Amino acid sequence: PLFLESTLVDEELIKGVNKEFVEERLNKKNICILYLARLEKTKGIYEAIDTYSIIKAKHPNAKMIIAGDGREENSVKKYISDKRIKDITLLGFVEGETKRQAYQNGDIYLFPSYFEGMPNSVLEAMAFGLPVVTRAVGGLVDFFKDERNGFITESYDPEVLSSFVERIISNEILAKEIALNNYQYARDNFTSAVVVKRIEHIFNQIINK
């Protein structure tokens, strides 16, 4: 038999993150859009930057964090410079505390990847209580719901992506509901202890047969 399972969120990464932290972040006035993935064209890095640029024009206080490295790293830096897009912080490859800080400093997770399996970064972002704007790729389509986890679309168009980001920014009640839904859903379904328990159950089923 075949069993469909998920990747997981390392509980050490989200240690100390609770509902109070999620709710407190929602009271921030400035918006920080986070992209955390490899800097590859197929991860949607350029669409993410263009989406932020549209949001930045409407919300001058908006900022963006780009965390990750890859083949497009130098091209991404040039792209940002040529377009004169302000307030983008490039962190490079992140792990441990630096990765935790990236998630903690973000307000919305933007991930317009072209294709995926089950992207860990989306699950991690949810566990930190971040609303997510992403594409309908891989295992995300099996559980991700519009206006419950954020917004999911078939489109690559930055105008479409930015419209979803704008809906989160402009609707505080919706943003709070999504943030708390994601926090709880990730903990109920994707933390390492939960996933390991499900896998143990699968092994026990097979052994008992």
Could you please report the per-residue DSSP string of 15-48?
Answer: TT--HHHHHHHTT-SS-EEEEES---GGGTHHHH
Is the pLDDT confidence value at 28 over 80?
A: no
Report yes or no: 161 and 133 within 8 Å, Cβ to Cβ: yes
For residue 173, what pLDDT band results from cuts at 50, 70 and 90?
very high
What pLDDT sits at residue 3?
83
Identify the weakest region by mean pLDDT among 92-101, 179-188, 196-205.
Answer: 196-205
Is the pLDDT confidence value at 163 over 90?
A: yes
Rounded to whole angstroms, what are the CA distances from 153 to 107, 121, 138? 19, 17, 12
Element (H, E) at 109: strand 108-111
Cα(45)–Cα(111) distance, rounded to whole angstroms?
A: 8
DSSP code string of 119-160: -HHHHHHHHTT--EEEES-GGGGGT--BTTTEEEES---HHH
Beta bridge partners of 111: 134
173: which 2 tokens?
A: 């009640």
pLDDT for 107-140, tens place per residue?
999 999 999 999 999 999 999 999 999 999 999 9
pTM (predicted TM-score): 0.93
How many residues are present in the chain? 209
* Interval 162-191 mean pLDDT: 96
Q: Is the dihedral of CA 33, 35, 68, 156 positive or negative?
A: negative
Is the pLDDT confidence value at 29 over 80?
A: no
- Mean pLDDT (the chain, rounded): 95
* Interval 3-19 mean pLDDT: 89
Is the pLDDT confidence value at 67 over 90?
A: yes
* Interval 192-208 mean pLDDT: 90
pLDDT for 186-197, tens place per residue?
999 999 889 889
For residue 26, what pLDDT band results from cuts at 50, 70 and 90?
confident
Which among 165, 118, 109, 124 has a CA at the least distance from the CA of 141? 118
Is the pLDDT confidence value at 86 over 90?
A: yes
